[in-house]
Structure 1
Amino acid sequence: MTTIEEAVEIALEWSRSVFASTSSRRESIVAVDERCIGRVLAKDVKAHVPHPPFAASVMDGYAVNARETIEQTEEQNIEFTVLASEVSRAGPVSTGRLKRAMKALECAYVTTGAALPRGCDCVIPSEQCDVHSNGTVVFVERAALVAGKWTRVSGSDVAGQGETLVRRGEQLTVFDIGVLKYAVDEIAIFNRPRVRILSTGDELVASVRDVHDKFGCIIDTNSPMLGAMCMDSGSEVICRDVTQDDLERTTTFFRSALADEGCDALITSGGASVGDRDFIEAVITSLGGEIHFRRLAMKPGKPTTFATLSRSDGLPPLLVFALPGNPVSAAVTFSLVVAPCIQVLSGSISEPKLRRIHCVLNETLTLDPERPEYHRAVLEWNGATHPSLPIAHSTGRQISSRLLSMRGADVLVELPKGPGVVEKGAIASALVLSDFRRANFHMEKIATPKRDVGHAPFATFTTRNDARVYVLGANGRVLDLKRSVGLEENVRSSCRRSGSSNDVADVLSAPLSMYSNNEIHVAVTDDLPSQALFESIEKTAKRLRIAMSNTSITHRTFARVGLAGNPSDAYGGKVVAASISNFCAEAILTPMVASKRVSFVLGPYDANDYDSFDDMASHVSSHGVDGGVRLLKALCENVKRYCVETKQMIDFSCGFELSYASTIPEQLGLSGSSGIIIAALRCLMQHYGVKMSIDEQASIALRVEHDVGINAGPMDRVQQVYGGCMFMDFSCPKECDSSTLIVHGEYTRLNADLLPPMYLVWRGESASHSGKVHSGLKERWTNRHTNEDSEVAVSMGRLASLAEEIFELFKKGKKIDVNELADRMNENFQLRRTLMGDKVISEANLRMVRMCQEVGGGGAKLAGSGGSCVAVCKNEATAQALRRACTESGYAYEQLKFV
């Protein structure tokens, strides 16, 4: 039998192939209106002009020139002359009237939405104005004169030309309809995939009346239900029929679907098992179809088949989903297998699979000894009985013919196969069926901890209930954010964790990371969870580690950019750095449950076969002798050594296959090698149940790189294990409590939302090898106490000071000024240039940074050892100029997406 995970991937692969071969014929041009809701955009929509295209008032009142007025008078109650000729009301404005600029002590009446008269930078609401002399004089309190108050600048909603409003492949929401109107009246959308539905069975009748007339028959609930599910998933049902278990009739229906060039998929229910009246598989075989799987290891839904039928004239194959006849089985397999494929055929770029959350079971459930089961349940959120997770209530009898068990179901609770039961109160994973915005269960808001005032600028607490639940027991103190757990990427930016008890962190983070889809789920509550919750988590984690031991483990690590202070991290300095989701490294570990064998899959940096000697030499020059696999081998040796040092009794008898992939461009100073190491490390930790603190993970990664000859400081590894944006102080390293590894410094999490827009610019010719860049500097650092090389110590100290200064900007808790950031970035680069010399930095890197500084009008520095630079622009106009310059000069660029 095929696992459900394998089945979904097989079906999705074929669906992507069908869509790719027909996407050019799937587009339609439609007007932007309510009929577009739920459709998928076929082309990016970009803005042509800023919105609003003018500075506007957001209140009825009087527009003034606040800056000039404040400079001109010291009065507290200021008298303004009302200029009747400059009245501005919402609507068309004469361009001639806008030529005159408003001066100090002058004002004009404006209405909400009206264009501001020239020179005005503030609007005083009418209720704050004292009007005299028949409306010709207005008195205003000085405190009300604040530049920018009650106004919105041009481009405050949409920045301007070239800004992407909605991207190709996005499914349009009600809010997207409004956003699209900023730019266009018509859009290109993908046509809905077209499907045919067939219910088979001698016992089926279409009408309730027929049940009374024909004893032994039952109502066909499958075809109308599947039709509704198809429409809800975004497809168009072009034909829906019911037929008896008859080979000829079934074949005729299949031939009709095959002949219909506009039909993408055929969905059947019933007739797919092994009975003497089950003809679906025989029909597929007779028409030359290819069956990709025919039995699923799941309950309900075992007799599910997926096949493709070839077509002539270069047309893509017809996708055939043969679902079980029992209504619940058909509904569950449609939700898990068919719906994701329809989403792909619709052109959507969203994750097609059902979202997964975690919940607490309200009753004891019996496991199936042969197959994993998907138990239908309703969710309830009750803070009084369980403050951390939603509670799952079974919908009753789970027999596959009882469609009422699907009605009202919010989730499919995932139960592993095995003997025994899952006890009431256990934590289980569940796949979301319902739209939580419209579900009937009770969602109680989680109270966030009281913040420690001293750290308030760095603390952002968010609870998200749409896709995942994050659970944390912390007693309301944001005591030390550098102790935060290394959350995965989609949690890290929205939830921060810390606590007054390190024991709590250990109990929660270690077991949860073993089974929760490679994520650590954290929720913020007022009180510490009970010991019973800890025991429940531990018990569930152990059971699921065993039950799911043959599933692949995937972890991802993001690229890193240095914002200030580097390369002082390697010399006891201080740095500010951030993780970006533009690029990432990924490791996949597949357990070999019945084997001790360990296998490393050659990745993009590894090769044993070359087109020529020159090709081989070029590859070795770029990737090293052993490429990426050398990192994995060195990592495994270090993990085993660590387990011996820390006396962890780990059973290494279960082998594995370990592979890696990376989108991080090579030798651009973005921490590609450490990204692979950390992703693979977390796979090994999850596979073997190794307990390792986040600081020790950074130290292990650094030790691995030293073992393979990569010279680097600790910044990259620390940044990538913590994620987010960090201030790192490496002046006081110390030994770990439980091992011989080193905690390299003290770290504080920063709020990346305070940074202005920033860009990464790079080019292949600028690539730099970090080991070569740092080798000469290390020798000079060793001789820093001599007069000849005393400059290196002074420069390193100043680099660290630059990081501290930016740290202080973060502490203010408001948007960081572009000029203050740019000045420090430029000085950082100049110090690096002085330390290393132009020859080491290379002319290509110098040319790239100079272009970013000059064209962007702001700051730029190397993101790491070289090959790419991070830049901040003075304003949107200079940012556009930089983007054009990069395109003209052959540089690649992306706006940084901070994790």
Structure 2
Amino acid sequence: MDYKTRKMHDSNEESDQKRRKADIKMERGPEKNIPPPIEHKAYARIGLLGNPSDVYDGRTVSISLANFWASVKLEPSDDLVIAPHPTHDLVQFKSLGHLVDRLKNEGYYGGVRLLMAICKVFNNHCKDNGINLHEGNFTLSYDTNIPRQTGLSGSSAIVCAALSCLLDFYKVRHLVKVEVRPNLILSAEKELGIVAGLQDRVAQVYGGLVYMDFSKTYMDDLGHGKYIPMDTNLLPPLHLIYAENPSDSGKVHSTVRQKWLDGDKFIISSMEEVANLALEGRAALLEKDYARLARLMNRNFDLRRRMFGEDALGALNIEMVEVARRVGAASKFTGSGGAVVAFCPDGPSQVKLLEDVCKKAGFVVQPVEVVPSRLKEIDLKTLLSK
């Protein structure tokens, strides 16, 4: 076969293949109407001021952190499938030692249980509130780059992203109020025995910079706190510090919570002061009084240290705070330990000192990137429909 004949033959064959593909596509028919996958991200968060008073009828100022996130993908499917993550839901190991090391560093559970829990809580909420859901099924999968045990709220980020997928898949975003969504996320985590407050979930649902008031009056009357988004441009440059191998951030609430429930005067008065720091911090941000903000951040950690004690906070966590303070930076936990937010009021030269001391101490340090508001027009309408 000469070149010209071969070229014509190849061209005819290519045309035949295109026709066959078109015929197959026409035969499939209804598959054209399969909805595309839905994917959402939820971001890590920094408790800038007021934490942990959110669990104690308090107030907080929090930031949604763009440096780290969890993503969830929902794809329509014949059966409802919760797909395990190839790393975080590992069930195959090289050896018994590998399994034991894995459990020691990562714990027993990955994200599958979180996805299952929010599916249950979402379904129950819709049933209880007369929200009808269509019969379609889906496959949920997730990924995350939020470092474990850093107090950056990695678990709730997975749940938050999954809830957003469910809202869009069932087309009920307009029927589930924004203020209620953090409660649903927290309820899913409580299903699994995770002890936490609403602060993280509010920050992840709203995005950006948010002032939150969890006073008993609001919680009793509304069923949720009062949440006020703030302009992220009010924030000064901040830095995140965390350890490569952090301690467990879940231990710090244990004894303090019981003392608070028992009416311990020191704990109650200290928590009230922590809550007031958030109120003062909101005013400081609105006025761009960053010297005052630095003092409030330091005071927040000092109060936590007095309430919880050094043994509960852990030497490594305390050292992250102290390293920053040695160069004059304000510093405090982002959450319950494992990571620290620092502010250098003296500017770039102080930031360089901070980077140097953190590197020497073996800590990771990076500028805080703030996520803008996550609320779309359809979400904002639920805020207006009181």
- Picking from 280, 301, 304, the partner of 1:829 is 301
- Picking from 573, 576, 581, the partner of 2:58 is 573
Q: Displacement, 1:613?
A: 2.6
Corresponding residue for residue 366 of structure 2: 894
Distance 2:19 2:232 in 1: 45
Within a 5 Å distance, the mapping from 1:271-670 to structure 2 comes to: 276=9, 278=11, 370=26, 549-592=34-77, 595=78, 597-603=79-85, 604-651=87-134, 653-670=135-152
Distance 1:248 1:706 in 2: 71
Do residues 790 (structure 1) and 265 (structure 2) align? yes
Structure 1 residues 847 and 650, CA, compared in 2 at 3 Å: closer, same or farther? same
Native 8 Å contact 1:555 1:588 kept in 2: yes
Q: Displacement, 1:276?
A: 4.9
Distance 2:260 2:212 in 1: 20
Do residues 707 (structure 1) and 185 (structure 2) align? no
SS for the counterpart of 1:766 is: coil
Corresponding residue for residue 672 of structure 1: 154
Structure 1 residues 697 and 887, CA, compared in 2 at 3 Å: closer, same or farther? same
Structure 1 residues 280 and 852, CA, compared in 2 at 3 Å: closer, same or farther? farther
SS for the counterpart of 2:71 is: strand
Q: Displacement, 1:248?
A: 2.2
Distance 1:842 1:821 in 2: 25
Deviations 1:680-699 (A, max 9, x none): 11111211223311122111
Structure 1 residues 605 and 853, CA, compared in 2 at 3 Å: closer, same or farther? same
Native 8 Å contact 2:180 2:224 kept in 1: no
Partner amino acid for 2:243? R
Within a 5 Å distance, the mapping from 1:18-57 to structure 2 comes to: none
Within a 5 Å distance, the mapping from 1:71-150 to structure 2 comes to: none
Moved more, 772-781 or 793-802: 772-781
Deviations 1:775-802 (A, max 9, x none): 2221111112xxxx21001110111111
Structure 1 residues 563 and 248, CA, compared in 2 at 3 Å: closer, same or farther? same
Structure 1 residues 247 and 798, CA, compared in 2 at 3 Å: closer, same or farther? farther
Distance 1:624 1:700 in 2: 24
Q: Displacement, 1:847?
A: 0.9
**What's the RMSD between the two structures over aligned residues?**
2.8
Q: Displacement, 1:806?
A: 1.1
SS for the counterpart of 2:253 is: helix
Q: Displacement, 1:550?
A: 3.4
Q: Displacement, 1:370?
A: 5.0
Corresponding residue for residue 780 of structure 1: 259
SS for the counterpart of 1:640 is: helix
Q: Displacement, 1:614?
A: 3.2
Structure 1 residues 574 and 735, CA, compared in 2 at 3 Å: closer, same or farther? closer
Partner amino acid for 1:828? N
Structure with higher helix content? 2
Do residues 807 (structure 1) and 282 (structure 2) align? yes
Which stretches of structure 1, 4 residues or more, deviate above 4 A after TM superposition? Answer: 279-282, 294-298
SS for the counterpart of 1:728 is: strand
Do residues 879 (structure 1) and 351 (structure 2) align? yes
Corresponding residue for residue 332 of structure 2: 861
Structure 1 residues 834 and 734, CA, compared in 2 at 3 Å: closer, same or farther? closer
Q: What are the ranges of 5 or more consecutive residues in structure 1 without an aligned counterpart?
A: 1-245, 252-270, 283-293, 304-368, 372-416, 419-545, 737-741
Partner amino acid for 1:773? V
Q: Displacement, 1:567?
A: 0.1
Q: Displacement, 1:726?
A: 0.5
Do residues 722 (structure 1) and 194 (structure 2) align? no
SS for the counterpart of 2:132 is: coil
Deviations 1:503-530 (A, max 9, x none): xxxxxxxxxxxxxxxxxxxxxxxxxxxx
Q: Displacement, 1:858?
A: 2.3
Structure 1 residues 766 and 623, CA, compared in 2 at 3 Å: closer, same or farther? closer
- Picking from 728, 751, 776, the partner of 2:231 is 751
Distance 2:95 2:223 in 1: 46
Corresponding residue for residue 139 of structure 1: none
Corresponding residue for residue 682 of structure 1: 164
Distance 1:579 1:685 in 2: 21
Partner amino acid for 1:619? R
Distance 1:700 1:296 in 2: 50
TM-score scaled to structure 2, two decimals?
Answer: 0.87
Corresponding residue for residue 382 of structure 2: none
Q: Displacement, 1:644?
A: 1.0
SS for the counterpart of 2:229 is: strand
Distance 2:39 2:120 in 1: 20
Corresponding residue for residue 379 of structure 2: none
Identity %: 33
Distance 2:185 2:323 in 1: 35
Distance 1:734 1:712 in 2: 16
Deviations 1:425-450 (A, max 9, x none): xxxxxxxxxxxxxxxxxxxxxxxxxx
Distance 1:880 1:709 in 2: 42
Structure 1 residues 607 and 794, CA, compared in 2 at 3 Å: closer, same or farther? same
Within a 5 Å distance, the mapping from 1:169-208 to structure 2 comes to: none
Deviations 1:95-133 (A, max 9, x none): xxxxxxxxxxxxxxxxxxxxxxxxxxxxxxxxxxxxxxx
Native 8 Å contact 1:586 1:661 kept in 2: yes
Structure 1 residues 605 and 733, CA, compared in 2 at 3 Å: closer, same or farther? farther
SS for the counterpart of 2:248 is: coil
Please say which structure displays the higher CA radius of gyration.
Answer: 1
Partner amino acid for 2:210? M
Partner amino acid for 1:673? S
Distance 1:680 1:735 in 2: 27
Partner amino acid for 1:761? I
Partner amino acid for 1:712? A
Native 8 Å contact 2:301 2:333 kept in 1: yes
Distance 2:340 2:141 in 1: 30
Native 8 Å contact 1:767 1:868 kept in 2: no
Native 8 Å contact 1:589 1:656 kept in 2: yes
SS for the counterpart of 2:166 is: helix
Q: Displacement, 1:605?
A: 2.0
Q: Displacement, 1:620?
A: 2.9
Partner amino acid for 1:759? H
Partner amino acid for 1:744? H
Structure 1 residues 624 and 281, CA, compared in 2 at 3 Å: closer, same or farther? same
TM-score scaled to structure 1, two decimals?
Answer: 0.38
- Picking from 245, 250, 254, the partner of 1:765 is 245
Q: What are the ranges of 5 or more consecutive residues in structure 2 without an aligned counterpart?
A: 372-386
Query: Bigger relative contact order, structure 1 or 2, given CA contacts below 8 A and separation 6+?
Result: 2
